[in-house]
Chain A
Amino acid sequence: MNAPVKVLLRGSSLLALIVALQSTVVASVDDAQSFALQAAEPYVKEGFQVREDYWGGDLGSGEKKAVRQQLFKGNEYWFWLGTEVERAKISVHIYDSDGKLAEEPDGWEKGHFAAAHVIPKTTGSYFIIVNVEESPEERTHWALVYGFR
């Protein structure tokens, strides 16, 4: 095989590998989002408008991430967290800008799904704390969506 062809083939293989790796990473966050949206689905029937925009990333076991969000008094919000790692245990909780727990008691956790409910007492910034409590994976993709009514 001549040198330019070898270079081209190596280049193509590398490109294919990069594309494959990229799509794996993207697919995982997308999968996490699809699980978060599944958790949200029953609430749509109750009149919640689920936002298209979402947060996502990956966390190690025991790691947390905070998401800051503007919430408006008068609205009611649910936040749904999902991951594609079925044996992971995840949780989501909502705090106000003073760091005080602000959520309603009907939030829930079930394996790779979790949800938290808030009826803001004041308009302002709130912190949504995402936690991968346990996971068999080194890094666990997560996605957080929210809805309001």
Chain B
Amino acid sequence: MIRYILRRLFHTVFVLFGISLIVFVTVRLTGNPVAAMLQGSNPSVQAMASLEKALGLNQPYIVQYWIFIKGIATLNFGTSFVTGQPVLPMIWSRLGATALLAIGGIVVGVLIAIPVGILSAIRYGTILDVLGRGISLLGISFPNYWLATMLILIFSVDLHWFPVAGSEGFSSLVLPSFTLGFILAGILARLVRTSMLETLGSQYIVTARAKGLTRWRVIIVHALRNALLPTITFMGIQFGGLLGGVVILEEVFSWPGIGRLVLTAVNERDYPVVQASVLLLSFLYIMVNLVVDLSYAFLDPRIRIGD
């Protein structure tokens, strides 16, 4: 197991090196940050040249890349061109907010999807199944922007239960988490249902029932545990993706997440922020997937990772 983890971490270094190169080149293809920085001031040619020099953008690309790589080694990602603030604290504060939203969304998604998926599977073909699939279809079909707006209109504007926007306290987390969770639940519930149907038809389930175990014990302890494997893979990939930011929801709910930070940085051609964000998010994505792979061994004792 330890060797497996070390091998994966070793591969990660090469992947991150590749990503650093790609992001360094692509962000420079998108245009000159100096023009974007000075847009509000209606700059002169001389002002732009002077700022370009001060930011080190007149140096050869290879020198700029070397400075970037050297910074990574010491966890110094530089300062933002636009705000002049160190990049790492800027990313950490937004990443925390996005992680909170992603966790909230996944909790809501799981709380909806698992009961709906199980009920749909064990009541296959009945009205409960149709209802369950209906909920799932709604989750898949609703555009998140529309759902967010509807929830705000109903629960904030009409009922005054939750604030429209912001990130102050638990009440601000409810509507964005529910929007995200409901949309996730759509796919998740289908996945749980399909896996449960497959598992419930297995011979060992019949054996378990024949041994006299109660129906719910068989469903929850024996069937669900196995049915969760593909669900966890899916959730791992989704969680990694959500850390990248749910830009539209962050925009609608004025949530101070990483998605808004990266989007703004790309628009402003803020090279240091874009480079550091992409690199850190890639690293997190790889780590989340590693944890997902490792979790298989705990869910299914037959799987022995690294053996």
Task: Tell me whether A and B are bound partners.
Answer: no
